[in-house]
Structure 1
């Protein structure tokens, strides 16, 4: 007999596909974007590696609207990158930035695998703010782009900024960087290089690759 999945087993994932996420998020009254590794692959127009989960980015200020939209699902709040504080997310509880909780894990039935991860983006007015360095940010209406099917996706250079941690960067983050770098427009890789230098000086290993970029494809819409 197969071992039953524990309610809070952090390794039990059966992620929704991107089309399934679109169906789940249809009718949401606040902005959202496909994020994580799928943000890179959607930009490239092909899947470059397996994805252990599917991520959706929302603004922290919009979290209760999303909670209500997903009211038929089981929602758990968690600390990241290590989900050490996995616990049910009570209806109506607004998770302030000070809690250190930036992610919500979602399943459609207790005892079943996790299906979706929500990630919170900080914002101030109409500006998004990079949580690890508040000097970095930009206009919320320029956070993402849309596929030909109308799927909202986080811009790759912004996703790479989040993936570009020094202390706990993962092999898949380096793989995503290598896969998408040749396809970034000049404004995108120069923005990423500036953000990395602002945080880490000249110590980040991606900066050498970025410094060798002399041009890029046409600017994104």
Structure 2
């Protein structure tokens, strides 16, 4: 179920960070203030270079030398990407028994976009449960609908389609059709009036066969004539 939620939906987008040249005393103060057990470490160019955990500080105190954050932080980083699923990130966290993952850009693995913590996984689970309940409700509505010639179809929206970059409420849908769900990558959404349709989205629609061509014209190239 968590494979339907992206990391970007629940990650902390403005995480507290430490600098390489911060002292361990400063780091301990920040950890105490935030009540976190680990924080990302960035350099003078604001690039991610490591993560400092309570365990790193404990080891540094045992050495008996006053050191900077950059000297003792963990630099072998386990990271996540904003467009990957929570399920994939959770499996990585569990395999290494870590409580947090810095979230970085795929095209710039040193650019910190956020942090995913175990506490965020609870919120992800709540979102997944809500979406599943919404889908069940929509399916129930479809089953109860009085369709005489009903069929369930999937429609891929072209980037230059008539409905692309339009809200659901702005389109003239065929009478009696029901937009059941919208798949966007790994996300499953319930289309509502304010939902913005995008190229690449896949709509699941219950409709009568007579409206099939009308729906195809809405979802394919806008160079085609709009349906009457």
TM range (shorter): under 0.3
Higher strand share: 2
Normalising by structure 2, report the TM-score.
0.22
